[in-house]
């Protein structure tokens, strides 16, 4: 799957089809919850292997234990759960990437599957589980395609932007490890994820989950760390009929938009001139230097001056804040009528370097707990949701995007 799908669809279908199999054919597909979780992992062979391996190991453990102890009923079921949990922990410790089923489905899935195997036999259980899981996967994928039409349109729009940017600059949206515009360290693996068109589908899904309605204003605050997610957010906004207000800072972490002459601002202005006007309707409120205090004191002075002239030529204010409070005030003024904040990357005004907020990714519901902690904290305390693009590898795993 290359789109952000809804796991709950697969779980509900798994329960319904499992019941149908049990009642109609008198065969258990490993328990009512197992096929749904297995279907979620069919595009992740490593995760599936870890889970099924733990279940088989637990099954043989119970078979051996049964030779020495009298196991039946709740006693046998409890031992299956404990054995599946133990083997799952062991396999997870040695697996290159822990399986989502062991992470999401709790460590009980292998034990539940092992319990069913001890009751009706391994071959019957695996055959029924495989058939029901395949049916859940096909039906769930079909429903996801049907319900995710807007997400797919956002992905298509984002793909056109990516291709256009790569045509103008071979670097595309991936930068270098370190340049005069680099502010912090970044993960190359995380930066590569923004090349997946599913990034735009994910942003559309998150915006829909935030409850925004067509015509609403969306604040997009971004550094240069994840330029792809900036475009993914704008593509999602256009697809959903939302009006985006944009403030970007030039500083970027490693492998972000840190190439002099090809900053996130350069990319945005280049995309604005593409055929089809993919950024039509975006309100480009301001560009700031980024970096410490959003003032860019540690960044290349000549490059900042070039960017200021570029912004001026496009009629966009280039603002060098005198303080962090001024950088925050600039954004609050630009975003005063916005219903949701999309925060891409971790520029200084966004969270005031709050460690707790900087660890959060995805949709953050309103709360007063972070009042005064930058733009993100202020939006939340005002009763407005925030979509934060940080820890993207975890975010992709959460929505089942990508493969091993």
Calculate mean pLDDT across residues 173-192: 92
What pLDDT score was predicted for residue 1? Answer: 44
pLDDT band at 96 (very low <50, low <70, confident <90, very high): low
pLDDT at 95: 58
Q: Does 367 score more than 90 pLDDT?
A: no
The verdict on 211 and 250 lying in the same domain is yes
* pLDDT on residue 13: 94
**Looking at the structure, do residues 61 and 160 belong to the same domain, yes or no?**
no
Structural domain includes residue 404: no
Confirm whether 196 is domain-assigned: yes
The torsion angles phi and psi of 242, rounded to 5 degrees, stand at -105, 150
Tell me the C-alpha to C-alpha distance, in Å, between residue 5 and each of 148, 149, 175, 201, 228: 8, 11, 29, 9, 20
pLDDT(202) > 60: yes
Residue at 97 is within a domain:
yes
Highest mean pLDDT among 23-27, 41-45, 107-111, 248-252: 248-252
pLDDT band at 268 (very low <50, low <70, confident <90, very high): very high
Of residues 190, 234, 231, the one with CA closest to residue 402: 190
Of the listed ranges 33-42, 206-215, 326-335, the least confidently predicted one is: 33-42
Report the 10 Å Cβ neighbour count for 183: 27
Same domain, 116 and 254: no
Lowest mean pLDDT among 70-74, 145-149, 205-209, 389-393: 70-74
Q: Token pair of 50, please?
A: 């870890």
Q: Would 135 be classed as within a structural domain?
A: yes
**Given 122, 147, 172, which residue is the final one in a domain?**
147
140 and 258 both lie in a single domain: no
Percent of the chain's residues with pLDDT above 90: 56
Whether 138 is covered by a domain: the verdict is: yes
pLDDT of the residue at 285: 97
Do both 121 and 205 map to the same domain?
no
Most confident option among 36-40, 69-73, 214-218, 395-399? 214-218
Section 144-172 average pLDDT: 85
- Is the pLDDT higher at 20 or at 403? 20
- Residue 1 inside a domain? The answer is no
Residues 323 and 297 in one domain: yes
Same domain, 178 and 140: no
Query: Are 183 and 303 found together in one domain?
Result: yes
The structure's pTM equals 0.74
Give 332 or 83, the one with higher predicted confidence: 332
> Do 143 and 154 sit in the same domain of this protein?
no
Domain encompassing residue 200: 149-398
Q: Is the pLDDT confidence value at 69 over 80?
A: no
Residues 157 and 126 in one domain: no
Domain boundary among 147, 180, 198: 147
Is residue 403 one of the residues assigned to a domain? no
Last residue of a domain, one of 147, 172, 191: 147
Claim to verify: residue 211 and residue 143 sit in the same structural domain: no
Residues 154 and 127 in one domain: no
When divided into structural domains, the chain yields a total of: 2
Higher pLDDT, 161 or 107: 161
Determine, yes or no, domain membership for 2: no
């Amino acid at each position: 799957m290359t789109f952000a799908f809804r796991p709950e669809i697969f779980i509900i279908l798994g329960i319904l089809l499992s019941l149908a199999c049990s009642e109609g054919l008198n065969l258990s597909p490993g328990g009512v919850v197992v096929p749904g979780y297995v279907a979620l992992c069919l595009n992740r062979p490593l995760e599936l292997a870890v889970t099924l391996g733990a279940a088989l190991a637990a099954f043989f453990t119970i078979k051996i234990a049964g030779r020495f102890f009298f196991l039946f009923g709740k006693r046998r079921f409890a031992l299956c759960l404990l054995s599946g949990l133990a083997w799952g922990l062991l396999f997870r410790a040695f697996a290159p990437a822990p399986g989502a089923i062991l992470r999401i489905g709790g460590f009980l899935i292998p034990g539940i599957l092992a319990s069913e195997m001890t009751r009706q036999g391994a071959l019957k259980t695996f055959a029924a589980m495989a058939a029901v899981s395949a049916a859940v996967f096909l039906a769930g994928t079909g429903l996801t395609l049907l319900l995710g039409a807007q997400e797919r349109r956002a992905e298509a729009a984002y793909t056109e932007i990516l291709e256009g940017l790569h045509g103008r600059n071979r670097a595309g949206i991936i930068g270098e490890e370190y340049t005069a515009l680099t502010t912090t360290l970044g993960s190359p693996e995380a930066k590569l994820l923004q090349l997946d068109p599913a990034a735009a589908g994910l942003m559309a899904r998150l915006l829909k989950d935030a409850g925004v309605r067509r015509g609403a204003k969306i604040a997009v605050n971004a550094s240069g760390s994840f330029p792809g997610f900036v475009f993914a957010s704008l593509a999602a906004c256009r697809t959903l009929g939302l009006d985006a207000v944009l403030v970007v800072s030039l500083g970027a972490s490693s492998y972000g938009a840190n190439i002099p002459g090809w900053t996130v601002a350069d990319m945005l202005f280049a995309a604005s001139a593409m055929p089809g006007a993919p950024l039509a309707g975006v309100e480009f409120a301001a560009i700031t230097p980024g970096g410490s205090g959003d003032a860019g004191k540690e960044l290349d002075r000549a490059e900042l001056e070039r960017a200021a002239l570029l912004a001026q030529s496009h009629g966009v204010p280039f603002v060098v804040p005198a303080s962090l409070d001024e950088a925050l005030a600039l954004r609050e003024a630009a975003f005063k009528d916005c219903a949701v904040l999309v925060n891409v990357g971790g520029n200084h005004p966004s969270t005031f370097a709050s460690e707790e907020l900087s660890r959060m990714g995805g949709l953050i519901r309103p709360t007063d707990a972070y009042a005064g902690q930058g733009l993100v904290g202020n939006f939340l305390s005002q009763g407005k949701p925030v979509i934060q693009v940080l820890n993207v590898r975890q975010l992709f795993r959460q929505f089942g995007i990508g493969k091993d």
